[in-house]
């Protein structure tokens, strides 16, 4: 799971640098549904 966390952290940084509501929101919603908090 640590590898997945690293990927998500890197993806999060990429998404922050390339932020677009139309592209980012559905992906973020999908991740929220897949990863327990």
CB 8 within 8 A of CB 35: yes
Instruction: Render the chain in DSSP notation, one character per residue.
Output: -HHHHHHHHHHHHHHHHT--HHHHHHHHHHHHHHS--
pLDDT (0 to 100) of residue 17: 63
Domain positions in the chain: 2-34
Q: What is the pLDDT of residues 2-35, one digit of tens each?
A: 788 888 787 777 666 665 555 566 667 777 776 6
Phi-psi map region of 19: left, alpha, beta (phi>0 left; psi -120 to 50 alpha): beta
């Amino acid at each position: 799971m640590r590898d997945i966390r690293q990927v998500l952290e890197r993806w999060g940084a990429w998404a922050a640098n390339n932020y677009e509501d139309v592209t980012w929101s559905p992906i973020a919603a999908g991740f929220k549904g897949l990863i327990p908090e």
